[in-house]
Structure formats: C-alpha cells, structure tokens
Amino acid sequence: MDNSKVVVNKENQKLKQILATAQDLFFRYGIRRVTVEEICRTAGVSKMTFYKYFKNKIDLVKKLMEKIYDQAMAEYRQIMDKPIPYVQKIEETIQWKLEQQKNISQEFIKDYLSSDNEELLRFFHQKRDEMLKEILDDYSKAQEEGDIRQDLKPEFILYLLNKLTEFYQDESLLKMYGSPRELTKEVLNFFFYGILVR
C-alpha cells in the first residue's frame, strides 16, 4: 500500500474522531460547557491536531453542523421523493425529525439557537433559510397537488416554521416537556395536522 494513502487515511480518522467526539459532547452538555481541551482529551488527539483542522471551537461547530444539515437534508429529500401519499410523507417526516432529536440536550439547542457569537448566528440563519426554502418549495408543490389547504399561503407556513425555533428558547415552554424531542413531537403534530386536507 502507498504510504501517502496510509497517512491520509490516518488523518481522516483523526478528523472523524474529533467530529464524532464533539457531536457527542455538544449534544450532551451544550456548546458553551465543552472545551477544546475536553474534545481533544476525549477524542485522544492533541490540540495541535485539533487546530490543524479547525480555527477554533466555533469553526468546529460550524463544520459539524454543516455535516449534520447536509445529512438531514439528504434524508428529508429521500422521504419527500418517495412515491407515497403526502400524508404518509408527513408522518415519516415527523418520525424522522423525532429520531434526529433523540440524543440532543436542551443545553445544545439553547446554546446553538441563542448563541452570542455573530459568526455562528449568521451560519445558523443561512442554513435555516436554505432548508426552509426547500421545504417551502415542497409545500407549494403539495398545495398545487391538493394535499395542503388552498386557503393557506405557503409563505405563512414558512413564517410559522421560522417561529418554531423560538419555542426552544422559551424556558417556561421547555419546562413543560421532559426533552426537546417531546416538545418537537407536540409542535409537529399540531402544526402538520392543522394544515393537511382532511
């Protein structure tokens, strides 16, 4: 085997290890509480290796979330492209969303959505807008096909979806639920079953 391939493979393993460790720690404890040192120690890599791949912790969060968003959108697209009735697509989307949130703590969601870091907030808004545009296109198509009420503006649906992220920043609302996953289930069921044609 070529030695350069061995080195590249080893480097890719270190990068994957850092990303996997960061995801586990961030999802458990939130972004603020986790340090670069803790990530390196848990991943079994040096800080020098960390800084070879990432400028700082925020850069790591962005790259990790980019990976998560890309994977999420690919999975969402798979569901929406299935040749099944729209109601079934919505049900699968709800189950998929709940599965995604199984291991995410309230601390992570709060830290991510209400970060005081401008760079991270811009990134979040950009990714959210990209996702919501694709979702809006799907809702418009579903409306044209008669699956969503004609008297609803797709832009209103998009506006509501944007507002849903604020729910995760409302301490009194979060206290009503045992986890972000429970809140998501309640919100999605209320939201989707309020717009479907019956």
Q: Which residues does 133 contact at the CB level (< 8 Å), separation at least 6?
A: none
Beta-bridge partner residues of 148: 196
The torsion of the CA quartet 119, 123, 129, 131, rounded to 10 degrees, works out to -170
Q: Which residues, at least 6 apart from 155, have a Cβ–Cβ distance to it below 8 Å? A: 136
Question: Is 161 or 14 the better-scoring residue by pLDDT?
Answer: 14
Query: At 6, is the pLDDT very low, low, confident or very high (cuts 50, 70, 90)?
Result: very low
CA distance 92 to 70: 18
CATH fold match for the domains 1-54 and 57-193? no
Homologous superfamily (CATH) of 1-54 is: Homeodomain-like (1.10.10.60)
Cα–Cα distance for residue pair 191/78, rounded to 1 Å: 21
Is-contact 88 95, C-beta < 8 A?
A: no
Model confidence at 109: pLDDT above 70:
yes
Confidence (pLDDT) at 177: 85
What pLDDT was estimated at residue 12? 87
d(Cα 27, Cα 41) in Å, to the nearest integer?
17
Measured in degrees and rounded to the nearest 5, phi and psi for residue 196 equal -75, 145
Taken as a whole, the chain contains a residue count of: 198
Q: Where are the domains of the chain?
A: 1-54, 57-193
User: Residue 112: what pLDDT?
Assistant: 80
Section 133-139 average pLDDT: 88
Four-residue CA torsion sign, 19, 21, 24, 29: negative
CATH of domain 57-193: 1.10.357.10
Q: How confident is the model at residue 7 (pLDDT cuts 50, 70, 90)?
A: very low
Query: Is pLDDT above 60 for 198?
Result: no
User: What region does 44 belong to: left with phi over 0, alpha with psi -120 to 50, or beta?
Assistant: left
What whole-number distance in Å separates Cα of residue 113 and Cα of residue 141?
Answer: 29
